Each structure stands twice: as C-alpha cells, then as structure tokens.
C-alpha cells in the first residue's frame, strides 16, 4: 500500500495564523451562496465556529474579510470585502500550485468539517506551556 501525501495551506501574518484550507472553503461558500450561514453549513461547520474563525482572522489582519449585505429576506446576506477577495485569490492560487505539483493533497471536505467539532479544551499542562 502506498502512503498518501497530504498538505495544508494557510496564510500567516507576523507568524500568526490568518486563514487556511477550511477558511478557503468558507470564503468560496460565501461567494457562492451570499450567506455565512449557508457557507458554514455547506462545509459542515457551525455558524458560531465560522463566525469566530473569520473574527480571529480579521483581528490578525486589522480589517474585515466580509461585510453584511443589507436588505430583507433573501436579498440580505454576507459578501467579501476587497481584502476578503484578495485572501481568497491568494489561497486559491497557492492551493492550485501545490495541487498541480503533487496532485490533490489538501484536506477532504470531511476533514475540514471535523475541524469544527467542539472548541478545543486546553489542559493545565498546555496552558502553562504557552
């Protein structure tokens, strides 16, 4: 049996994680559906996890990746800011180059969905190790 090659792609700023393969799928879902709720559901994440994921990325960047689209009923939703579109384009480009070189090696949809799970609890040992 041959071993499978797996890769992960993510953006960092000053050594701080911004967004990775899961976030790439989330941003693509927002573009496709116009909704953070629908995008998070499509990748198997809870809305709360997706919202927190974006807020942490925006904290590192100091700017918003998404903006609310005002309106009523179906015209209301979420869309990417210019920075959000730039992050999406950068991740898509890098992911495509990695996959062109090695074959599709990124996380599967099930692996991305499993990352939501429950919030990671830090033990006393891991709290002190920071």
Domain 11-116 has CATH 1.10.10.10: yes
- The string of pLDDT tens digits covering residues 63-103 is 999 999 887 777 789 999 999 999 999 999 999 999 888 88
Helix (H, G, I), strand (E, B) or coil at 54: helix
pLDDT band at 116, cuts 50/70/90? low
Q: Where are the domains of the chain?
A: 11-116
In three-state form (DSSP H/G/I as H, E/B as E, the rest C), the secondary structure along 9-42 is CEEEECCEEEEEHHHHHHHHHHHHHCCHHHHHHH
Whole-number percent of the chain with pLDDT over 70: 87
Report the pLDDT averaged over residues 2-19: 90
């Amino acid at each position: 049996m041959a071993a499978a090659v797996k890769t992960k792609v993510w953006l960092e700023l000053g050594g701080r994680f911004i967004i990775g393969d899961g976030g790439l799928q989330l941003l693509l879902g927002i573009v496709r559906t116009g909704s953070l709720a629908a995008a998070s559901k499509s990748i198997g994440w809870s809305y709360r996890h997706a919202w927190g994921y974006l807020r942490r990325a925006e904290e590192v960047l100091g700017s918003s990746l998404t903006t609310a689209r005002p309106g009523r009923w179906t015209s209301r939703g979420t869309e990417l800011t210019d920075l959000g579109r730039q992050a999406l384009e950068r991740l898509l480009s890098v992911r495509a180059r990695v996959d062109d070189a090695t074959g599709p090696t990124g996380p599967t949809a099930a692996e991305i969905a499993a990352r939501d799970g429950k919030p990671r609890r830090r033990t006393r040992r891991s709290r002190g190790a920071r």
